[in-house]
Structure 1
Amino acid sequence: MSLGEDMLAKMDFRAPAADAWIDEDGTSTDPASASPSTADLAGALAPLGKQTRPNGAVYHPRAVAKAFEDVALLRDARDHREHVLFYGPPGTGKTALCEAAFAADATIEHDGLESIVGTADTTEADLLGTFVQDPRSGAFEWRPGPLHRSVLYDVPLLVDEIALIDPRVLSVLYPLMDGRDVLRIPMNPDLDPLPTGKGWFVLGAYNPDVPGARMSEALRDRFAHHIEVGTDWVLANELGVPADIIEVAKNLDQQRRKGDLAWSPQLRSLLSYASTERRRGREYALANLLAKVPQDDRDLVGRVLTAKFGEIDALRLGLRFES
């Protein structure tokens, strides 16, 4: 037996007795009665109902931990400066939820949401801002970036695809997220330190399966809530997506979760499929869906679609059209 195995064998993993929990005053507390259950607190946040996004689309709220409405939870997290990190495949509604929660929020002075979509080339200046030269006068003026604007206007900041940004760049968020609550912009010494208001906090969203995705533990630990976002299959059906394609999508999603696929159709792709099927027919919609699949996954997805619907080829241009 190795040293590590010997240590594990000697460790006691049994739950401690109730009287093992001792308060500061020396009295014992029963852990089972010390904290309320999530179900007990389910009524603490009143649901806010459907929300309209800036593009006019209606957002249908979803449940978190089977107890809280997502929109209400986000607004409560903002009120308590509890930063939120979403992760999941693209097209599941991460960005849509953030827009629905804050794009038209009448509970704060400045409604809205500042956002940035991260890439491997995102710089600190992309977040904070930069000097821009006036082509007529030649003078340089400060142009605030999304982080500066979010603090200036006291609105939440959404960092989409946050895991693609160099962790060294994102260190600019650390002092704002850990309680120091003051934004300093060293590249513009004329700007006074700017304190954060009650409407500011950080939302992060990313796809953990995208190549190059990484986050520092220092940043991850500053997010109070880590929430996985997947597709609501029931909602997809209610929004008009055919049941048979939902069945296929659920099967593919299970294979993605097991690691057999890197991509599977989520809500956005399913809504696009339903619209295409209504306007162009099933055969066209299936061929179009297959053409969306990344090349590495296309053979497997094609076999699944063929098994369900018959032979399918990815959409492509054919011979000259004869009228």
Structure 2
Amino acid sequence: MFLSMQGLVGAGVDEFVERAEWAQSTAHTASPSVEHDASHVPGYIPRVIDGVHSDIDILRQARTWRMHLIQSGPPGTGKTTAAQAAHGDELIIAACYDGMTTQDLVGQYLPEPGEAGVFRWVDGPLIEAMQRGRPLLLDDFGWMPPGVQATLLPALDHQRTVTVLDRPKEQTVKAAEGFSVIINVNPGVGFGITGPIRDRAAFELHVPVDLKAAEKLDVPRAFIGVAEELHNLAEAESVNGIHRWVPSMRSLLNARNLAVVFDEHFAASALVGECPAGEQRTKLQDLLVTHLELDTDVPEPLQSRSL
């Protein structure tokens, strides 16, 4: 590939080896580059985690080495998209909610369509992922009740098994090679993560809003400036346990689209409507006036009125 695609057709093997050895010897000091990674989500911009590895690489390596991990961060920061970019169609996604039961994870008997009184067993996403050796994404994990979380414990530790007494045929399922679990959580939401589950995760990856990616995706600079100030403020106040609203990547991309279709003032008003009322909304309005140079034209939440 090096010889045929890098403009070095006809170069000798010695030249290739020399360049490869130089690249390896300087890899630890070189600036990280993850743009070359071919992800399963067109347009996804991989992120550098520790100055060396990309999020795509980390998610894939964790699966290879049977590691389970936690992705934490506010909604709309790209946690689910990162998992999809890393694993593509192999990824099995289960959405968690406060009324979730163990059956939602492991499976249950369901009516057979068109056959009265006939039921068949349908495996849940956990059993499916274990049997097929697939990565399992548990989205909005904080909403999974603690009692249901306990179902995952033997699957996440060295046993890598789950026993389902109601399941016909094989009641104890052992995870096939390739099975791993990604836990997505929004801090401060729902029941949280129990200690035993957290102990079984190899590491936790914090996923904030990627403002550099937002800039590459053509979000207007004024909105990025507002987001930067709000994120800095939220970070400073989080030390005291205060959770402030910050615009998600989804919100910033919506602002970009609205600014194109309508104008930046309309986009700003839509953003204000997302922010909780009170001091936080007032702060957002002040920042929007400053960065968009609106003078006294303060954006208000979108609302229809008679002409």
| Alignment TM-score, normalising by the size of structure 1 | 0.77
Give me the whole-angstrom Cα distance separating, in 2, the residues matched to 1:122 and 1:300: 37
Q: Give, in angstroms, the shift of residue 246 of structure 1.
A: 0.2
**Range 145-154 or range 294-303, more displaced:** 294-303
Provide Cα deviations, 1:175-223, integer angstroms capped at 9, x if missing partner.
111111223212224334222112101100111033x342111100100
Matches within 5 A, 1:1-323: 49-53=37-41, 57-104=42-89, 112-134=90-112, 135-210=114-189, 212-257=190-235, 258-259=237-238, 261-295=243-277, 297-309=280-292, 310=294, 311-319=298-306
Q: Which runs of 4+ in 1 moved over 4 A?
A: 39-43, 45-48
Aligned-pair Cα RMSD in Å: 2.3
Instruction: String of CA shifts for 1:77-102, please: whole Å, max 9, x gaps.
Output: 10111111010111111000000000
SS in structure 2 at match of 1:71 = helix
TM superposition shift of 1:305 = 2.1
Shift of 1:59: 1.3
Instruction: Give the conservation status (yes or no) of the 8 Å contact 2:165–2:171.
Output: no
Gaps of 5+ in 2: 1-26
Is contact 1:131–1:141 with CA below 8 Å preserved after alignment? yes
Q: Distance in 2 between matches of 1:174 and 1:42?
A: 40
State the alpha-carbon separation in 2 of the partners of residues 245 and 46 from structure 1. 26
- The CA deviation at 1:266 is 2.3
Q: Residues 31-62 of structure 1, C-alpha deviation per residue, up to 9 Å, x if partnerless?
A: xxxxxxxx85999x998614132xxx421111
The answer to whether the 8 Å contact 2:34/2:46 transfers is no
The answer to whether the 8 A contact 1:49-1:60 is kept is: no
Count of residue pairs the alignment pairs up:
270
Report the 3-state secondary structure (helix = DSSP H, G, I; strand = E; otherwise coil) of the residue aligned with 1:171: helix
Give 1:308 shift.
3.3
Structure 1 Cα separation of the partners of residues 154 and 211 of structure 2: 39
8 Å CA contact 2:77–2:248 kept in 1: the answer is yes
Confirm or deny: 8 A CA contact 1:248 1:305 kept in the other structure. yes
Q: Give 2:285's aligned amino acid.
A: G
